[in-house]
Amino acid sequence: RWVNADHDFLDVEEAVRVTSAGFRLGAYTVNDAARARELDGMGVECVITDNAEVLAGLGKHPAHWV
C-alpha cells in the first residue's frame, strides 16, 4: 500500500507517521535535486519529477525511474 503526497507537504514527522503506519511513501512533483535527496533520506521510495536529472542526482539506476 502506498501514499503519494505533494512533496511540499512532507517533512520528517509526516514521513515517519506514514511509514510507521505500514505504508510505502512516494512524493510528487519534485523538480529540485536537493529536495529529492532530502526526501530520499526521509524514507520516500518513489519520486515523481518532470526532470530526469533529479533522479540522476539520487544515483538511482534508470531502470528504477518512474
Task: Convert the pLDDT of each residue in 51-65 to its tens digit.
Answer: 888 887 777 655 555
Choose among 15, 17, 16: nearest CA to 27: 15
Per-residue pLDDT band at 66 (split at 50, 70, 90):
low
Query: 6-51: per-residue pLDDT in tens?
Result: 999 999 999 999 999 999 999 999 999 999 999 999 999 999 999 8
Cα 20 to the center of its chain, rounded Å = 16
Whether 38 contacts 14, CB under 8 Å: no
Q: What is the pTM of this model?
A: 0.84
